[in-house]
């Protein structure tokens, strides 16, 4: 394929910037991308090693704020000494200090490391020699000094030239090369397709069994109010009282009801509380400006650790009193009265009159104080009111077993009535959605889903536009002088042709999750954990559809309708197209994995965004509350990181067998290895993750791995058919069927155990305090050690939920 082909009046298609031309390979693409990725990665990694011991408020934020009884070891302050210490932290320590969600997230990376390590070995030792013997000997330019992928790319194009294929028509099935001795290496592709599929399912099944075993024992041995509470929805109007619900559940004879929280329409109260927070922040800011108080400077003579503890715990400075019942303004004023200075009091402008067209200035402190007093009176009055009940309640039982029996049973014979589900943690509930009607929540959910579907199609335009703008054929057409210059400078052409599209796609991967996170919050879900799982699903859909399918099956927006139309005529057309484009885009996806793993993971470890935002936040911080928030650990959102890892997993599967697959697998191994240590450090030491999703991401991971296997089978079938090995291609079909069957069996056999707690897993508070699980289920030293870790103290969720109640904070907050 000539990137710099001239216009041909007899062949107008040559002037088109087709999808595969956007990111076509060149001689130095992989080498240049490797240099860029290593330069970015090493600079960020060395910066992190230098800054980590100096900026502990950022890089050890979670460790400094976590409960010391969790036993998380302190990392050495030496330049590289933290790496072996982090490596030695066991899975049991991860589970006990970071929780089940972190354990599941890291388990996926660890499983991927083992899987791709084995696949890389066989691809490099067995498949690569086969490719060297059969393919390179048949390629005219096999002795050139080109990069491997560039060489393999021309190998692919050579075979396409030998095959009488049209870009739109599948190959003629009359001639089958399956039994041609010169094409015998294609049978090895079939064998390894089976072998790698079996390996993937084996590793996934083995890890799934371990995750389920850990999850059941973890949730079965802890005792939190969340584990004993279930969510009851679809409550008919005649049962919308706490007494009626308690009596109903008691009559089921599944256990004793401890408490019932019936959700009510607290909309007016919640709005008053939000308004109060705004006024309170302005009052605090006015006092801070008036007093000229800089919280960190005022305690600047204290040691760093004590100063940060003062900010967080409020026990080392007169500004941070320990009296939780005192008003916020009282805490702010304390200590400032003694050093009050004569200065001009801050002013506030407020609007009044017809259409609020008139305004005047007044004393800000007096104005916001009076406004706060009025709001407090309104809130106290609103709390005393009787609010209209909603169709949702949280029922807390006296035992986990009773709660699980209620969750896993059908209570009412009428569809949609008295439905039970596990309750989220009290701090995890989005209370404003609890009193919304089921119809309104469904409408919001459907609306957001429809909008995401439309947005997915809309994304095709900017994605394809960016790709086409950066393509050589577009540059030749609109900037011929620049195109001629690129012909003479191979490295510059490489940066434009493949480097920039890779960076653009990576930036989209970083930016788009924020939009889908906002949309998920608008969907009306009842908990932050459900929202987190929804963000994972939405972002993976964007990543898989727009970044994978658009660059492969469709190529460009204009090609979508052609592909769909041809696929209706021939159901195998998509498989052929996928296989052909996968060959063409090998360099692009290799560079993508390389940049994500070697280049961007160290930047995530460096927390570049937090570092860049800190000076801005520091300049804008005025009140003690502002400074306290600055030293809190940043949040770790799985939906921002997991979808990209799943895409890399799918890419490694797709490229595992075809020529050059060993390099993709090697880069995949590096990606998941670096990702495992990066996220392990952040989850344990630097970042917090408040969601209580009880490891629900694992079933999503498994289903998307199975989707990757399906794409892998379609690609291999199309690839073999392109080589006219139709018999070999047909033998891929059993793999496709087996994967679908495994998914159906997984849904019935495994998925319930990722949602519920089995009754045999629940700890019985009887003799010895042992669980009902048989000891042979945890055979081996690791299992016994795991049980000891889980039982010798409270879990991170138990610590987090001490004293929690299922009560809307607007009703009880001081």
Q: Check whether residue 113 and residue 49 sit in a common domain.
A: yes
Number of structural domains (the chain) is 2
Give the model's pLDDT for residue 565. 58
Is 1 a residue whose pLDDT tops 80? Answer: no
- The answer to the question of residue 14 being in a domain is no
188, 247: one domain: no
The average pLDDT across 408-420 equals 91
Distance CA 327, CA 331 (A): 7
Rounded to an integer, the average pLDDT of 562-574 is 58
**Least confident segment among 172-176, 547-551, 594-598:** 172-176
Nearest C-alpha neighbor of 191 from the set 127, 132, 128? 127
12, pLDDT greater than 50? no
Q: Which residues pair with 389 in a beta bridge?
A: 264
Are residue 258 and residue 132 in the same domain, yes or no? no
Q: List, for residues 102-132, the tens digit of each pLDDT value.
A: 999 999 999 999 999 999 999 999 998 888 8
Which pLDDT score, from 0 to 100, does residue 345 have?
86
CA distance 645 to 652: 11
Q: Give the per-residue pLDDT at 696.
A: 86
- Minimum mean pLDDT among 30-44, 110-124, 229-243, 480-494: which range? 480-494
- Those residues with Cβ within 8 angstroms of residue 636's Cβ, 6 or more apart along the chain or in another chain: 679, 682, 683, 687, 688, 689
**How confident is the model over 46-59, as a mean pLDDT?**
89
Residues 630 and 752 in one domain: yes
Question: What is the C-alpha to C-alpha distance for residues 580 and 68, in angstroms, rounded to an integer?
Answer: 56
d(CA 734, CA 751): 24
- For the stretch 499-521, pLDDT in tens is 677 777 777 777 888 888 899 98
Stated as kind and residue range, the H or E segment containing 251 is helix 242-251
pLDDT for 567: 54
524 in a structural domain: no
Name residues whose C-beta falls within 8 Å of residue 642's C-beta, 6 or more positions apart in sequence: 105, 108, 536, 539, 540, 697, 701
303 lies in some domain: no
Q: Are residues 235 and 138 in the same domain?
A: no
The pLDDT of residue 633: 82
pLDDT average, residue stretch 551-580: 60
Residue span of the structural domain in which 694 resides:
27-218+575-800
Q: How confident is the model at residue 559 (pLDDT cuts 50, 70, 90)?
A: low
Question: Under 8 Å CB-to-CB from 583, ≥6 apart: which residues?
Answer: 153, 156, 658, 719
Domain holding 232: CATH number? 3.30.70.330
Candidates 440, 407, 430, 412; CA nearest to 263 is 430
Q: Between vectors from CA 126 to CA 123 and to CA 129, what angle results, nearest 5°?
A: 105
- Residue 430 buriedness (CB in 10 A; 0-12 / 13-18 / 19+): middle
Quick one: 239 and 115 in the same domain? Answer: no
My answer on whether 116 and 248 are in the same domain is no
Q: How far is CA 102 from CA 108, 289, 405, 569, 680, in A?
A: 10, 41, 27, 47, 8
pLDDT band (50, 70, 90) for residue 297: very low
Percentage of residues in the chain with pLDDT exceeding 90?
Answer: 35
Strand pairing class (229-233; 389-397): antiparallel
User: What value does the mean pLDDT of the chain take?
Assistant: 78
CA angle 288, 291, 296 (to 5 degrees): 60
Name which residue leads in pLDDT, 71 or 83.
83
Please indicate, yes or no, whether residues 597 and 693 belong to a single structural domain of this protein: yes
Within 13 Å, how many C-alpha atoms sit on residue 33's CB side? 32
Residue 265: partners with Cβ closer than 8 Å, 6 or more residues away: 387, 388, 389, 390, 435
Confirm whether 619 is domain-assigned. yes
User: Which pLDDT score is estimated for 468?
Assistant: 62
Of 606, 582, 599, give the one whose Cα is nearest residue 503: 599
Give SS3 for 362. Answer: strand
Helix (H, G, I), strand (E, B) or coil at 393: strand
Q: Last residue of a domain, which of 396, 423, 450? A: 423
Residue range 395-400: average pLDDT?
Answer: 92
Domain identity same for 203 and 231: no
Same domain, 206 and 248: no
For residue range 358-379, list pLDDT tens digits in order: 888 889 999 999 999 999 999 9
The verdict on residue 452 lying in a domain is no
- Condensed to tens digits (0 to 9), the pLDDT of residues 248-295 reads 999 999 989 999 999 999 999 999 999 999 999 999 999 988 887 554
- Give the containing element (helix H, strand E) for 84: helix 82-87
* Confidence class for position 467, pLDDT limits 50, 70, 90: low
What is the percent of the chain with per-residue pLDDT over 70, rounded to a whole number?
Answer: 75
Is 370 part of any domain?
Answer: no
Determine which of 23-27, 159-163, 561-565, 701-705 has the lowest per-residue pLDDT on average. 159-163
Q: Taking 80 as the threshold, does the pLDDT of residue 35 lie above it?
A: yes
The label of the residue with tokens 């910037």 reads 17
Q: According to the model, what pLDDT value does residue 82 have?
A: 92
Model pLDDT, residue 588: 80
Query: 589: helix, coil or strand?
Result: helix
- Single out the residue of 420, 428, 425, 422 nearest to residue 224, CA to CA: 425
168 with 84, same domain: the answer is yes
* DSSP symbols for 456-518: HHHHHHHHHHHHHHTSHHHHHHH-HHHHHHHHH-HHHHHIIIIIHHHHHHHHHHHHHHHHHHH
Whether residues 648 and 708 fall in one domain:
yes
Q: Is the pLDDT of residue 167 over 60?
A: no
Residue 651 lies in a domain: yes
In this predicted structure, what is the pLDDT of residue 775? 42
Query: Average of pLDDT values for 557-576?
Result: 58
Task: Report yes or no on 525 lying in a domain.
Answer: no
């Amino acid at each position: 394929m000539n990137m710099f082909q001239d216009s041909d009046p007899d062949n107008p298609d040559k002037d088109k910037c087709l999808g595969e031309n956007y990111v076509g390979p060149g001689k130095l693409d992989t080498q240049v991308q490797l240099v860029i990725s290593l330069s970015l990665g090493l600079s960020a990694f060395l910066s992190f090693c230098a800054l980590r011991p100096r900026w502990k408020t950022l890089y050890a934020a979670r460790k400094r704020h976590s409960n010391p009884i969790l036993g998380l070891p302190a990392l050495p302050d030496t330049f590289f000494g933290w790496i072996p210490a982090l490596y030695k932290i066991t899975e049991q320590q991860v589970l006990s200090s970071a929780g089940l969600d972190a354990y599941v997230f890291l388990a996926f990376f660890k499983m991927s490391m083992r899987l791709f390590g084995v696949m890389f070995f066989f691809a490099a030792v067995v498949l690569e020699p086969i490719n060297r013997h059969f393919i390179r000997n048949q390629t005219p330019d096999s002795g050139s000094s080109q990069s491997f992928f560039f060489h393999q790319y021309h190998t692919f194009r050579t075979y396409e030239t030998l095959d009488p294929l049209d870009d739109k028509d599948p190959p003629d099935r009359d001639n089958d090369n399956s039994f041609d001795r010169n094409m015998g290496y294609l049978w090895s592709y079939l064998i390894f397709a089976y072998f790698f599929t079996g390996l993937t399912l084996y590793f996934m099944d083995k890890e799934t069994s371990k995750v389920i075993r850990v999850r059941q024992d973890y949730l079965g041995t802890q005792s939190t109010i969340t584990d004993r509470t279930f969510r009851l929805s679809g409550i008919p109007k005649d049962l919308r009282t706490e007494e009626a619900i308690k009596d109903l559940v008691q009559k089921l004879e599944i256990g004793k009801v401890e408490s019932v929280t019936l959700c009510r329409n607290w909309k007016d109260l919640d709005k008053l509380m939000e308004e109060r927070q705004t006024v309170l922040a302005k009052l605090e800011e006015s006092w801070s400006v008036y007093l000229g108080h800089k919280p960190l400077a005022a305690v600047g003579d204290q040691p760093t650790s004590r100063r940060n503890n003062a900010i967080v715990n409020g026990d080392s400075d007169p500004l941070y009193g320990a009296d939780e019942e005192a008003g916020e303004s009282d805490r702010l004023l304390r200590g400032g009265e003694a050093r009050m200075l004569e200065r001009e009091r801050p002013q506030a402008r407020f609007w009044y009159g017809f259409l609020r067209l008139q305004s005047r200035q007044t004393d800000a402190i007096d104005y916001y104080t009076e406004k706060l007093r009025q709001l407090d009176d309104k809130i106290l009055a609103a709390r005393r009111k009787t609010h209209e009940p909603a169709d949702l309640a949280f029922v807390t039982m006296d035992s986990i077993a009773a709660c699980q029996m209620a969750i896993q049973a059908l209570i009412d014979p009428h569809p949609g009535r008295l439905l039970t589900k596990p309750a989220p943690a009290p701090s995890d509930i989005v209370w404003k959605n609890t009193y919304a009607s089921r119809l309104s929540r469904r409408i919001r959910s459907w609306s957001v889903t429809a909008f995401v579907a439309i947005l997915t199609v809309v994304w095709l335009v900017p994605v394809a536009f960016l790709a086409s703008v950066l393509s050589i054929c577009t540059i030749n057409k609109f900037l011929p002088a620049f195109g001629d210059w690129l012909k003479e400078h191979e490295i510059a052409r490489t940066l434009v042709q493949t480097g920039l599209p890779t960076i653009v796609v990576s930036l989209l991967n970083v930016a788009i999750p924020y939009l889908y996170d906002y949309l998920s919050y608008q969907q009306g879900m009842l908990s932050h954990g459900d929202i987190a799982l929804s963000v994972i699903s939405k972002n993976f859909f964007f990543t898989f559809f727009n970044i994978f399918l658009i660059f492969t099956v469709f190529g460009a927006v204009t090609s979508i309708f052609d592909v769909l139309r041809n696929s209706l005529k021939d159901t195998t057309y998509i498989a052929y197209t996928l296989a052909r484009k996968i060959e063409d885009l090998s360099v692009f996806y290799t560079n993508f994995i390389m940049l994500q793993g070697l280049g961007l993971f160290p930047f995530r470890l460096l927390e570049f965004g937090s570092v860049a935002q800190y000076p801005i936040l520091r300049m804008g911080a005025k009140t003690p509350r502002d400074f306290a928030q600055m030293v809190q650990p940043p949040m770790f959102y799985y939906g921002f990181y997991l979808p990209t890892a799943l895409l890399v997993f799918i890419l490694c599967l797709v490229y595992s067998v075809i020529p050059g697959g060993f390099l993709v697998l090697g880069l995949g191994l590096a990606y998941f290895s670096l990702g495992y240590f990066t996220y392990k450090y952040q989850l344990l030491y630097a970042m917090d993750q408040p969601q209580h999703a009880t490891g629900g991401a694992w079933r999503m991971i498994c289903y998307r791995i199975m989707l990757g296997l399906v794409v892998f089978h379609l690609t291999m079938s199309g690839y073999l058919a392109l080589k006219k090995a139709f018999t070999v291609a047909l033998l891929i079909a059993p793999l496709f069927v087996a994967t679908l069957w495994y998914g159906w069996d997984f849904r019935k056999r495994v998925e319930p155990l990722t949602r519920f707690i089995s009754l045999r897993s629940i700890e019985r508070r009887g003799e010895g305090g042992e669980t009902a699980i048989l000891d042979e289920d945890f055979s081996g030293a690791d299992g016994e050690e795991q049980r000891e870790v889980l039982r010798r103290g409270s879990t991170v969720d138990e610590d987090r939920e001490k004293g929690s109640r299922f009560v809307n904070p607007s009703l009880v907050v001081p």
